[in-house]
Structure 1
Amino acid sequence: MASSTRGQALLLVAILLPALIAAFSEDNPTDQRILVLLDDLALKSSHSIFFKSLSSRGYELDFKLADDSKLALQRYGEYLYDALILFAPSVEGHLGGNLDVAAILDFVDSGHDLILAADTHTSDLIRDIATECGVDFDENTDAVVVDHINFAVEGESDHSLIIGDKLIESDVILGKGGIKDPVLFRGIGHSVNPASDLVVTVLSASPSAFSAPPNAVLKAPPALTGTSISLVSVVQARNNARILISGSLDFFSDKFFRSSVQKSGSSSRSASGNEKLAVEMSKWAFHERGHLKAVNVHHSKVGEKDEPSMYRITDHLEYSLEIHEWTGTEWKPYQADDVQVQFYMMSPYVLKALDHNGKGLFYTSFQVPDVYGVFQFKVEYKRLGYTSLSLSKQIPVRPFRHNEYERFIKAAYPYYGGAFSMMTGFFIFGIFFLYHK
């Protein structure tokens, strides 16, 4: 009986070990295993181009129905997947197995990535997940984004098939050169908090768009209008987990990928930019681009190599680190002119921009301030589309010892002169007082 149990345990380890090895690591931060949850398995065919683009880049896709009773994101305390694609906007109540809003948020909080797509029949479950991620879909469940000026002529008479070209200017999110072709969108709009630095709108509606039920007679202004309507947004959490939220499931469909686009009032046609936009955003969401790491953080006195246990006030020191960016296949040197280091105690006493040699090495030198205490070297680097770097290294700073001061300080020469002149004057006065009649 014991040998049978041991054999089952070994079999379980043999099954799980390859999966654990393929997981996210510092050497290869790109996601490997992706769980794809669908409302209907027919989406595998209708969205096949998007899924094939992921498979061709080496991702392992596990397709399941969203209400599958055997769904699980983790087993024995280990996550089975590196990312989740949720193409199940109409799923009600809760997902299959033990998946609910809390389980998906825990998945993201543990550093894993999420792509979520909604549509005109989005359930409260999907809305709750989006809200927790910082995105609020229109509260009117019947509302869609309508644009009577920037719509596709092939669309319905309600002008809900709109053309979006208000894209963020970011090579790290959209790829080098950005997206030149117009993008088709049919779905619901959402809003993001403009004060948040975690949520970024990638595709927004045109100034003439509004969110309302199609063909409805409006008695009050819509809640969402113009460029405040976000169509596609991304989130980078503080733990560097990445989330992509689209208000349209059709946005990822083969039909939209292969459609030619003719804008109302124009006689020319152009290819749809949906495929390139979806592929480039998925590269960002799954850490193929914009993922940074810092290594070889070093500090020492100028001219020395070893790191000291403490510094003395007014010492001259050097600080350096290497920053590399993941390209999807390898690490390459990162280049930027906005990386800064703080020499920090309660507040920054020194703030300096780091120079770089073009090969990933960032460095600078400065003088320790004339203040002693426990300081920190701090690098807080946050740039749109890139993973944030937060580095700190604590170091004490001591004052001069009694035998390290200069014997005669130039600034004190007036005081020295005053003391000696006083003694000389007293001596002359004594001679004069004693011997002069």
Structure 2
Amino acid sequence: MSKLILCVFLTFTLIPLLCTSFSSDTPSDRRVLVLLDDFALKSSHSLYFNSLHSRGFDLEFKLADDPKIALQRYGQYLYDALILLCPTIERFGGSIDAAAILDFVDSGHDLIVAADSNASDLIREIATESGVDFDEDPAALVVDHSGYAVSASEGDHTLIASDDLIKSDVILGSKKIEASALLIYILIALCAAPVLFQGIGHSLNPSNSLVLKVLSASPSAYSANPKSKLASPPSLTGSTISLVSVIQARNNARILISGSLSLFSNRFFRSSVQKAGSPIKHDKSGNEQFLTEVSKWVFHERGHLKAVNVQHHKIGEADEPAMYRINDDLEYSVEIYEWSGTAWEPYVADDVQVQFYMMSPYVLKTLSTDGKGRYFTSFKVPDVYGVFQFKVEYHKLGYSTLSLSKQIPVRPFRHNEYERFIPAAYPYYGAAFSMMAGFFIFTAVHLYNK
């Protein structure tokens, strides 16, 4: 009896433990892994982390060389995004390496990389694979003798106050302005605080069309070792130097690469700034606003589109047919929404197009919109039969790519669907009947004429 009680006890205690020990942890939405060189960065960069946390992100901090870190378990990714604030790391701990991080991006996840003047070869490799090339000189910094930030000690002019931002409301955010407040807004825009930057510059791979400069250096900037005299012209000069760049991959994964770790720091967030040659001194730099807006784009809180309810049917009908006939009149519609950070809202634009495609587009139409997310158009099926596709390929700066396709065959008329007499064939009908009439007259004359 005691053995039976023991077996029952073990059954009801050990089995639940075994089930939980072998069950995979389902990653929660918006979970972010932050890899650091030193846990001191949690406090020195806390303002940036707090801004992410306030927007609903679940941040998990670990040292980059922690032997227990992993991006996936049992084939499932544990995180939605990855932030690398570990420029000096030579080798990641656990199962993470450069290939694992690139696979993470290839799986549709987002990435932020912050380098610095002492960036390791590992960080440089990740940046290179993403389409960004840091200056090869490990001692090089971006120097600007015209666009530097004025400070008590002038120093070597490596502390740059940059206001050369990408002109994209999707990436950097925008505010709807009332007409009466337009003048005030212009004055504020002219006096907007520049972004403080101190670090290494990079160039964009010309063969990679997916990389965009978000924060650029001024035409007077160059990349060199500020502690030594220039023996040869610097390899990176002027506005070709990118300070912060973003990439949107073809699978809509997004990457941000910065050449400065200090860009994210509390010190730069709170620091006052005055650009050389400007009489205006700002009480606070533009770093916090800049990084907040850019990170909203990187983490798909803005510029993220989805298409639903793709429909096509003959005009006057509601059901989608199995195939169309040449010269049918049809209607095509799709609903497109944009994520606002909290809800899906109708996306309104006038440049969404649909192709009726077979080897090449036979029909190209710009879709009309009702302002509530629905896009629609109508057209006549071309007089060519075969297997066609409805294709929507939407590429717009800052927005996620939409690629929709739906295949449909087009058949010719059946033999009993043609008109009895085709107007275009009247000359041929006349020739045939005139030939028959002539033959009848010739036969009658030949048989009965003496």
Normalised by the length of structure 1, the TM-score is 0.93
Q: Distance in 2 between matches of 1:5 and 1:242?
A: 44
Matched, 1:123 2:123: no
Query: Any residues of structure 2 matched to 1:165-180 within 5 Å, and which?
Result: 165-177=163-175, 180=192
Determine if contact 2:24/2:74 at 8 Å carries over to the other structure: no
Say whether the 8 Å CA contact 2:33–2:83 is kept in structure 1.
Answer: yes
Aligned to 1:306: 319
What is the deviation of 1:96? Answer: 1.3
- Looking at structure 1, the residues matched to 95 and 417 of structure 2 have their Cα atoms a distance apart, in angstroms, of 67
Aligned to 1:260, what secondary structure does the other structure show?
coil
| In the alignment, structure 1 residue 103 sits paired with structure 2 residue 115 | no
Q: Which moved more, 1:321-330 or 1:193-202?
A: 193-202
For 2:18, give the aligned amino acid: A
Separation in 2, partners of 1:3, 1:101: 45
Match of 2:435 in 1: 422
Q: Deviations over 1:343-372 (max 9, x none)?
A: 111111111111110000000111111111
Q: How does 1:91-170 map to 2 (within 5 A)?
A: 91-92=89-90, 94-154=91-151, 156-170=154-168
Aligned counterpart for 1:87 among listed residues 73, 85, 88: 85
1:238 equivalent in alignment to 2:250: yes
Higher deviation after alignment, 110-119 or 193-202: 193-202
**How far, CA to CA, are the matches of 1:265 and 1:383 in structure 2?**
36
Cα distance in 1 for partners of 2:11, 2:125 equals: 47
The answer as to 2:59 corresponding to 1:61 is yes
Q: Structure 1: which amino acid aligns with 2:128?
A: T
**What are the equivalent positions in structure 2 for 1:403-422 lying under 5 Å apart?**
403-422=416-435
The one-letter code matched in structure 1 to 2:266 is D
Deviation at 1:6, TM superposition (A): 2.9
Tell me which residue corresponds to 1:35. 33
Measure, in 1, the Cα distance between the counterparts of 2:221 and 2:346.
42
- Tell me the distance in 2 between the aligned counterparts of 1:376 and 1:56: 44
Report which stretch shifted further, 72-81 or 108-117: 72-81
Find out whether 1:48 has 2:46 as its counterpart. Answer: yes
Structure 1 unaligned residues grouped into runs of 5+: 24-31
SS of corresponding position for 2:17: helix
In the comparison of the two structures, how many residue pairs are matched?
A: 425
The unaligned stretches of length 5 or more in structure 2 are 1-9, 177-188
1:210 aligns with 2:219: no
Moved more, 358-367 or 101-110: 101-110
Q: 1:394 to 1:248 in 2, by over 3 A?
A: same
The CA distance in 2 between the partners of 1:256 and 1:119, in whole Å, is 15
> Contact 2:24–2:73 (CA<8 Å) still a contact in 1?
no
CA offsets 1:48-106 (integer angstroms, 9 cap, x no match):
110111111111111111111111111222211111110000111x1111111011111
- Give 1:426 shift: 3.3
Cα offset, 1:435, TM superposition: 5.2
Structure 2 distance, partners of 1:65, 1:144, is 26
Which deviations, in whole Å up to 9, do the C-alpha atoms of 1:29-48 show, x marking residues without a partner? xxx11111111111111111
Question: Which segment drifts farther, 61-70 or 227-236?
Answer: 61-70
Cα distance in 1 between the residues matched to 2:348 and 2:220: 40
Deviation per residue, 1:108-140 (Å, 9 max, x gap): 111111111011110001001111111111111
- The 3 A distance-change label for structure 1 pair 12 and 170 is farther
Q: Matches of residues 350-369 of structure 1 in structure 2 within 5 Å?
A: 350-369=363-382
Cα distance in structure 1, aligned partners of 2:263 and 2:380: 55
Q: How far apart are 1:267 and its partner, in Å? A: 2.9
* Separation in structure 2 between the aligned mates of residue 235 and residue 79 of structure 1, nearest angstrom: 21
1:192 to 183, 201, 204: 204
The equivalent of 1:29 in structure 2 is none
Tell me the residue number matched to 1:383.
Answer: 396
Counterpart in 1 of 2:356?
A: 343
RMSD: 1.8
Q: 2:333 aligns with which of 316, 320, 333?
A: 320
2:244–2:259 CA contact under 8 A, matched in 1 = yes
Q: Are residue 255 (structure 1) and residue 267 (structure 2) matched?
A: yes
Please state how far the C-alpha of 1:332 moved relative to its aligned partner: 0.3
Q: Distance in 2 between matches of 1:386 and 1:229?
A: 24
TM-score by length of 2: 0.91
